[in-house]
Structure 1
């Protein structure tokens, strides 16, 4: 299968999320066709992206005229206008776009986007809210869910595991989590192994189910 990671991307909707995404893709060397129905937004990004056009993404002929069917990947970044978000997604499916990402503002919105054909649904506000809640409620320095019930967390080692080689700690058997990597106070992150000894100033990245990660990061 061909590697499509460097293929151009269509970004529809240039609000905060869509414009940030388009600019970062362009910064990383990806060609971007950015679309929005608001001329002022398009004008503000002119010269900063590969192609920025004013168009109605709910009009299939307008999408054809600006060459959207030639793209393999598209992101529907339309925010609060749910009707436009859903209709745009369905039109991209009709045009044969093979990899469609769509932003949802709620789980219900996301389910509808999946039904009309979105291949990936993202809930940036919801995901950021969950992430921040985990960080505020525990000792986590960072948190990311990577599936329905699996997560990675950046945290400090609990007292009982400081000074003990991981291979002798029984940490995984007792709490179900794995220490993936560790960073000393003046070091970069490196892979953890059975001989790794954690210190008080270390930062560790752990992996496990959400419940296991939450339980472990609550240890003193």
Structure 2
């Protein structure tokens, strides 16, 4: 049985989620107060409705309380975001994900019952910043305020050395989750794995330790 998702707010973030979920074959209810935005998604999602997320009766009539997952993607109106989240929590929605504008907004959302809070603009900014600073960083995913996963391109400093030679876990406290070489990926690589120039190392660990690894073994220009 397909999971049912409701997305409240059809800005760039909410619209992107609607498209992605629909492409994955999920049932999606798209909600926004802007009729033009709703019309734009009417052929993309299962249902698109003009409604106010802060209107408890409107959400109730749409049966939002019965959806598996509701995403609150309301843009700059923090008050509307908070009120909508509160209504969904009172409905007993099983999973509520909310877009936050700032850290204060996130704290409030967590207190009133949001199950997951995301910062799409902040997170994208962090990823771009890491990519700009180091030519070796392909991608950066922050798992928490202290831990992350990073894709690093192997350069001259580590090429033709094995993982045993590099001793990365003992020296820097991070783990190599996988090594990608072209279309091939080696998950949990053996210590005798030799790193070639251009290989992509998928590293997980504390952000401070990953930074030490980057500074020691990867070029920053």
TM-score by length of 1: 0.92
Counterpart position of 1:161: 158
Give the Cα separation in 2 of the matches to 1:176 and 1:125.
29
**1:31-54, Cα deviation, whole Å (9 max, x unpaired):** 011111111111111121101001
2:175 is matched with 178
How many pairs were matched up?
215
1:79 counterpart (75, 82, 94): 75
- What residue in structure 2 maps to residue 151 of structure 1? 148
Q: Equivalent residue for 2:61?
A: 65
- Give the structure 1 partner of residue 209 of structure 2: 212
| 1:163 CA displacement | 1.8
**Stretches of structure 1 lacking an aligned partner (at least 5 in a row):** none
What do you get for the CA RMSD once the two structures are aligned?
A: 1.6
Runs ≥4 in structure 1, deviation > 4 angstroms? none
Kindly state the Cα deviation for residue 158 of structure 1 after the two structures are TM-superposed: 4.9
- The one of 3, 9, 20 equivalent to 2:5 is 9
SS in 1 for 2:107: helix
Q: C-alpha distance in 1, partners of 2:79/2:17?
A: 22
The structure in which a higher percent of residues are strand is 2
C-alpha contact (below 8 Å) 2:155/2:198 kept by paired residues: no
Give TM-score, length-normalised by structure 2: 0.92
- Mean Cα deviation higher: 7-16 or 154-163: 154-163
